[in-house]
């Protein structure tokens, strides 16, 4: 007897670079600045809020769309920060993390034969979700120069065809640390005006923007908000990436389709965590202070790298720092990241891993969402470059 053959829905997908580099870091005792997660705990008050919710009996299925108190808190936060009034009952859905939100949004709107434009380098879940939906990925490369990465809007406009159903954007941007500004959204709005193109806006790092800049959410742009799924993540905001709780804000007609898919791929999300998060959100301090918190870490890390031969690219948002290493080595990015991990004992991620086809820019990404002691240890080792 033998197992029947199975035709893969994702034949080009293998083990992710994050899994590979984290395993390599563990094997060699390297400081892991590769995968994007904090090595410090969350606020004990948040843990208390979840424990209290468990003890209060909030341990059975919640509503499919999310606990009402949490959806109301999310809508209030968006209104406060971005001036858009989403209806908590019909336009906010709690999800099992942002990746599920992204996948569900794509599955609910992209049909076989339709195209989705993905701006690269890109978070690695976008393209597989489009493929699973039967759509065609249309990659568009960002431009990179002395001022960092930027979206070539004229090229994006040229990539639009009658088959374009969705444009995926991400700001603050993983992996580059760039951000979209108001002028960028105006150009995007001009491109989609008069079309049926939808927008998927991945804004999971919305509270990590630096140097006095403000996050410009698609929710703050009325013409874009009316056609957009806006995604965010409590895991990123509250240092609890393993909880896998996020949300989608979208107009009622889009949310209705989103929820049709949501109810059959996860149905609903961890009940006591939703109640705990709702109570914790009563204090806006944790998200309002997050940019200052991470800017201190970014500045510590950048100051330490400034004495090396690595060229620092701008890091306007997220908790990622990209560096150009071409003054140090002519190795391809994946090999250079492996060398860093095995020889200098600091793990990074090759930015080439965020492209759909071979692309070498001599750039790797570090994550600075770490304790100061962790960053200092990494900097001591990187000083050898």
Q: Is the domain defined by 17-36+288-382 classed in CATH 3.30.530.20?
A: no
Instruction: For strands 363-367 and 346-347, give the pairing.
Output: unpaired
Q: Which of 186, 263, 181, 247 is nearest to 215 (CA)?
A: 181
pLDDT in tens, 246-278: 999 999 999 999 999 999 999 999 999 999 999
Domain 17-36+288-382 matches domain 45-283 at the CATH topology level: no
Residue 221 phi/psi, 5-degree rounding, is -110, 105
Q: Which of 42, 34, 29, 71 is nearest to 269 (CA)?
A: 71
Both tokens of 323, joined, read 């560096």
| CATH class belonging to 45-283 | alpha beta
Per-domain residue ranges of the chain: 17-36+288-382, 45-283
pLDDT band at 18 (very low <50, low <70, confident <90, very high): confident
pLDDT of residue 16: 83
pLDDT surpasses 90 at 131? yes
Contact 287, 43 (CB under 8 A): no
183: Cα separation from own chain's centroid: 21
Question: In the chain, what is the greatest distance between 2 CA atoms, to the nearest angstrom?
Answer: 65
HSE-CB at 288 with a 13 A cutoff on CA atoms is 8
Both tokens of 335, joined, read 């090999």
pLDDT band at 1 (very low <50, low <70, confident <90, very high): confident
Q: Could you give the C-alpha distances from 146 to 41, 110, 210, 296, 306, in angstroms and in order? A: 36, 36, 18, 23, 15
* Residue 353: Cβ-neighbour burial (10 angstroms; 0-12, 13-18, 19+): buried
pLDDT in tens, 56-65: 999 999 999 9
CA-CA-CA-CA dihedral for 176, 181, 187, 189, to nearest 10: 110
How much is the pTM? Answer: 0.96
pLDDT in tens, 317-374: 999 999 999 999 999 999 999 999 999 999 999 999 999 988 899 999 999 999 999 9
303: Cα separation from own chain's centroid: 25
Contact 349, 18 (CB under 8 A): yes
Residue 350 phi/psi, 5-degree rounding, is -70, 130
pLDDT in tens, 107-121: 999 999 999 999 999
State the residue for tokens 């009563």: 282
SS3 372: helix
pLDDT of residue 358: 84
Q: How many Å apart are CA 76 and CA 325, to the nearest integer?
A: 44
Helices (H), 306-359: 333-339
pLDDT of residue 145: 85
Task: Using alpha carbons only, give the angle 296, 216, 211 rounded to the nearest 5 degrees.
Answer: 25
Q: How many Å apart are CA 174 and CA 365, to the nearest integer?
A: 9
In sequence order, what are the residues at sequence separation of 6 or more whose Cβ sits closer than 8 angstroms to the Cβ of residue 94?
Answer: 65, 66, 67, 70, 71, 74, 245, 246, 247, 268, 269, 274
Question: Contacts from 78-85 at CB under 8 Å and sequence distance 24+?
Answer: 78/217, 78/219, 78/230, 78/249, 80/284, 81/215, 81/217, 82/217, 82/219, 82/220, 83/220, 84/217, 84/219, 84/220, 84/222, 84/225
Q: How many Å apart are CA 24 and CA 15, to the nearest integer?
A: 13
SS3 101: helix
Strands (E), the chain: 31-32, 92-95, 115-120, 136-141, 143-145, 148-150, 164-170, 198-202, 228-233, 246-249, 311-312, 320-324, 346-347, 349-350, 363-367
CA-CA-CA-CA dihedral for 247, 251, 257, 261, to nearest 10: 0
Rounded mean pLDDT of the chain? 96
């Amino acid at each position: 007897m033998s197992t029947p053959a199975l035709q893969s829905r994702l034949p080009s997908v293998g083990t992710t670079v994050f899994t590979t580099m984290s395993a390599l870091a563990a094997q060699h005792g390297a400081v892991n600045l590769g995968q994007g997660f904090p090595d410090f705990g969350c606020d004990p008050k948040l843990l208390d809020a979840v424990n209290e919710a468990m003890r209060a009996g909030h341990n059975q299925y919640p509503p499919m769309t999310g606990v009402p108190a949490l959806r109301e808190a999310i809508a209030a936060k968006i209104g406060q920060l971005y001036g858009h009034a989403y209806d908590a009952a019909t336009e906010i859905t709690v999800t099992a993390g942002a990746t599920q939100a992204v996948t569900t949004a794509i599955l609910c709107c992209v049909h076989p034969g339709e195209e989705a434009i993905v701006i690269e380098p890109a978070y690695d879940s976008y393209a597989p979700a489009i493929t699973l939906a039967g759509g065609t990925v249309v990659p568009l490369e960002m431009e990179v120069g002395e001022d960092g990465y930027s979206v070539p809007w004229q090229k994006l406009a040229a990539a639009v065809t009658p088959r374009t159903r969705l444009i995926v954007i991400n700001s603050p941007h993983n992996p580059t640390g760039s951000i979209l500004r108001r002028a960028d959204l105006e150009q995007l709005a001009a491109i989609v005006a008069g079309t049926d193109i939808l927008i998927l806006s991945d804004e999971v790092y919305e509270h990590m923007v630096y140097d006095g800049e403000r996050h410009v959410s698609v929710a703050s742009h009325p013409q874009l908000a009316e056609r957009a799924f806006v995604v965010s993540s409590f895991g990123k905001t509250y240092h609890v990436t393993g909880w896998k709780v996020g949300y989608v804000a979208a107009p009622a007609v889009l949310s209705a389709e989103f929820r049709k898919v949501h109810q059959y791929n996860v149905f609903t999300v961890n009940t006591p965590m939703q109640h705990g998060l709702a109570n914790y959100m009563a204090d806006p301090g944790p998200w309002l202070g997050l940019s200052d918190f991470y800017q201190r870490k970014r500045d510590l890390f950048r100051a330490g790298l400034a004495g090396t031969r690595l060229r620092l690219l701008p890091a306007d948002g997220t908790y990622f720092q990209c560096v150009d290493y071409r003054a140090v080595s002519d190795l391809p990015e994946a090999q250079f990241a492996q060398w860093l991990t095995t020889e200098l004992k600091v793990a990074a991620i090759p930015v080439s891993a965020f492209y759909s086809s071979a692309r070498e820019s001599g750039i790797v990404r570090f994550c600075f969402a770490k304790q100061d002691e962790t960053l200092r240890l990494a900097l001591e080792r990187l000083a050898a470059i």
